[in-house]
Amino acid sequence: MPRTTPLTLTLLAAGLGLAAGAPAAAAPQQVGRVDKVERQAVAVVEGSARDLGAGGLVYFSDMIRTGGESRLESQLADGTKVTLGEHAKILIDEFVYRPGRPGGRLGLNVVRGAFLFVGGKIEGPTGGNVAIKTAVGTLGVRGTTVWGGQIDGGYGVLVLDGLVTLRTRRGSVTMRKGQGTMVYAGRAPQAAAPWPEDRTKRAVATISFGTGR
């Protein structure tokens, strides 16, 4: 999306609260836009919720949530695309982007629900600029399209393009295009391997539009 001035936004989730006596927070900064919504999605900030629809703005302080049998697709200012499945909840922990200049940083916290991440300009050719927190660990990505979510009694990660490393408290695994892993409670991630066709189809269906029942 066009911008006339550099966009530089940095926010740590742990620092959302204002210390006593600190000056009032600045107005929320726009970091992206909603491409499409199926059924229901809302953005929650400071206890207030607003409905999200196609063309709606995404602000840095938003906690985005989807309802039952719902989907949301959004695009951030650097071209990163994030699609959410039903009952999802996501927060942008960190966003530093300067149009026309390399580098920047992006941190996403996928609190719950299935998601599909397609990297944008922040990711860069060498990666290392994006971290995605999930329920089981943190994903480091490069040149990436990656799915994550609950499936088959555990938490799954499937790499559709690029290179992804999942780091958990019990171990780590690196996956390439066409490979995935499963993480079950109290265990290290399984070795990277192609997923069965049926599991792959069910994973993709969780973030596909027009599949709600």
pLDDT tens readout for residues 59-99: 988 999 999 999 999 999 999 999 999 999 999 989 999 88
| 93 and 3 co-located in one domain | yes
Flag whether pLDDT at 3 surpasses 70: no
For 13-62, how does the pLDDT look when each residue is reduced to its tens digit (9 = 90+)?
A: 333 333 344 445 567 789 999 999 999 999 998 888 999 999 999 998 89
Structural domain total, the chain: 2
| 150 and 76 co-located in one domain | no
| Enclosing domain of residue 77 | 1-14+29-133
The per-residue pLDDT for 196 is: 97
Instruction: Specify burial of residue 169 (Cβ count, 10 A radius: 0-12, 13-18, 19+).
Output: exposed
The residues pairing with 38 across neighbouring beta strands, listed in sequence order, are 71
| 122 and 195 co-located in one domain | no
| 145 and 112 co-located in one domain | no
Is residue 53 assigned to a domain?
A: yes
For 185-206, how does the pLDDT look when each residue is reduced to its tens digit (9 = 90+)?
A: 999 999 999 999 999 999 999 9
The per-residue pLDDT for 127 is: 64
| 54 and 129 co-located in one domain | yes
| 59 and 98 co-located in one domain | yes
User: What's this model's pTM, rounded to 2 decimal places?
Assistant: 0.86
- Which is nearest to 120 in space by CA: 80, 178, 160? 80
| 116 and 145 co-located in one domain | no
The per-residue pLDDT for 100 is: 78
Q: Which amino acid is at 84?
A: L
| 49 and 123 co-located in one domain | yes
Element (H, E) at 198: helix 197-205
Q: Are 182 and 190 in contact (CB under 8 A)?
A: yes
| 61 and 102 co-located in one domain | yes
Q: Measuring CA to CA, how many Å separate 180 from each of 59, 114, 204?
A: 32, 15, 13
| 145 and 118 co-located in one domain | no
